[in-house]
Every structure is written in structure tokens, then in C-alpha cells.
Amino acid sequence: MSRKHRKDSKSVSLVLGSGGARGLAHIGVIEWLNDNGFAIESIAGASMGALIGGIYAAGRLDAYKAWVCALEKTDVVRFLDLAFGSSGLFKGDRIMETLKGMVGEHDIEDLPIRYTAVATDIERQREVWFNSGPLFDAIRASIAVPSIFTPHQYQGMKLLDGGLLNPVPIAPTFQDRTDLTIAVDLNTPRRQRARAEQPRKEERVGDDQGYHAKIKHFLDSIQKGFRGDPKGDLGLFDLLNRSFETMQNAISATKLASYAPDIVIEIPRDTCGSYEFYRAQEVIRIGYQSAASGIAAKMS
């Protein structure tokens, strides 16, 4: 993904929020900024924002985009390494190794863009900012969604998802000397209109069945004992996910009111579910369109 910019381009501090698969919208936002001559000089991210921002800073976002957009053709079940009897459903080692193979090992201080990933020290109940050290330690810590991924052990700390305390981490950009601070909020109110579904390829059965069918079957088998009753009550995982999102929504609103960036790009929380990564192309397109409309309204 090109980083060439005009001499008169505006420099940007980009804040990428947390929100699961909705974070794929960050790719579209970055693409729009690059296409329109903005110079991204600093990135701060939480959870999926830390992952997308770190991969972009390492210069490998095109490779990641191609990979994630092809997930319907990929046997992703091999990335789900169950952590039986542990403090999370998945260990996350396999997906991290896959990303490392795609992106390469990097130290944050060597990246060409200033980068900060935010995680949560669960024992000390405080934010941890990664702006040096191994990139994938920062990403793994920041994406450790409670009950989904096991906590990341790092330098004596037990670290969880940065979105627990700071879903839109604006504060790490306060010392930046850029023209604009642009924040992407993945937890804005639901849209009133019906969601346009992405056309999906026909899924095959058998050993070569599609991504969505495999994930649905896999998660269904895990959740049998945790489903809601026929009255429509939420199952355990749905309840945990909705609770986490409710908390993030409240914190995001407070952070944005207290530390208002120059521009907020809003991605509605019904854009996709937290784990609907198979809708990558659609969500990336929504991010691009939201950046176009959100930034144009402020810059006009």
C-alpha cells in the first residue's frame, strides 16, 4: 500500500478503535487517506485497531487484506487453538504465527510510522501503552478479548484487550505534531436502514466447504451447553459479547467527549458482528465510504 504523498498533504495522527471484525473498516479508512494524499505519521490502536495499525505500519497491509478477503476459501479452523481448562477459549498462538509469517518480525521503535498499541493490565487495572519492543507482543496483548483469547503474559504482567479501558485511544497521540487527529469509532449507534448484505459465494460441502459454514459448525459445537432457551434468551457467548460491547460504547462516548479529535469517522455497530470476518470486503468498503463522507464533511 503506497505511502507517497504530495508536499502539501496534511499529516495525520490516526486513532483506530476496537470492535472485532468491524475493525476491518480501518483498512478502508487507511486506503481512503492514502488515495487522497493524507500522510499518516502516527497510529494509536486498541484491539483490532492495534492489529490493523501495526500491520500497516510494518508495510504489509495489502498482504493482510488479500488474506482476510479470501477467508471463505481458507480452512481457518486450524487457527483456532483451543485452550482447554484455561482463562480463555483460544490460545491465539496459531493466528499470531500466521500473521508473523505474513508480516515478519518487527520492533515497534524501528517502524517508519509512530505506533502505540493499548492493552489492559488486568491485575493492576491500568492501561499499558506499547510503543517499543516486539510488534506482535503488542498486538497479541491488545487483542486478548476476555473469555475468547487467553491473557498475554508479558514482563510480569497479565494483559488483556485494550478496549476494556480505552476503546478509542486518543491520548497516545497528544504529543504528535501533526495537522489532524482522526479517530475511527467502531461503536456508533445502529443504522436505521436495513443492512445491505454482501453477495456471498456459494459454499461447498464436504472437505472443501466454505469459511462461514465451518466456523458456524465449529462454534455451534462449542456452544451447545451455553445456548439461550427457546424463549429467545441470549446464550453465554452472545451475552458476554453484548456486555463487552455495551461497556465499550459507554467508554468510547466518554473518551471522545473528553479528548475530542479533529475528525471522528463513525462505523455503526451493526455493520457486522464481532466475529464476522468472512464479510471483509463489505466492511472494508464501508470503512472507505465512511472516511470519504466523514472527512469531506469536516474539510469542506
- Cα 67 to Cα 55: distance, rounded to the nearest angstrom: 13
And the C-alpha cell for 83?
Answer: 485452550
| Three-state secondary structure of 240-285 | HHHHHHHHHHHHHHHHHHHCCCCEEEEEECCCCCCCCHHHHHHHHH
Q: State the catalytic residue, choosing from 13, 18, 42, 47.
A: 47
Report the alpha-carbon angle 33-36-41, nearest 5: 45
Q: State the catalytic residue, choosing from 161, 185, 252, 290.
A: 161
Report the alpha-carbon angle 145-149-155, nearest 5: 90
**Which positions ≥6 away from 239 have C-beta within 8 Å?**
none
DSSP string computed for 117-135? EEEEETTTTEEEEE-SSBH
- Cα 11 to Cα 37: distance, rounded to the nearest angstrom: 9
Ramachandran angles phi, psi of 39, nearest 5°: -105, 105
Asked about 185 being catalytic, the answer comes back as no
DSSP string computed for 17-45? ---GGGGGHHHHHHHHHHHTT-EEEEEEE
**Residues β-bridged to residue 90:** 82, 149
Using a 10 angstrom Cβ sphere, with 0-12 exposed, 13-18 middle and 19 or more buried, the burial of residue 223 is middle
Report the alpha-carbon angle 96-22-287, nearest 5: 115
Asked about 18 being catalytic, the answer comes back as no
User: Which residues participate in catalysis according to the annotation?
Assistant: 47, 161
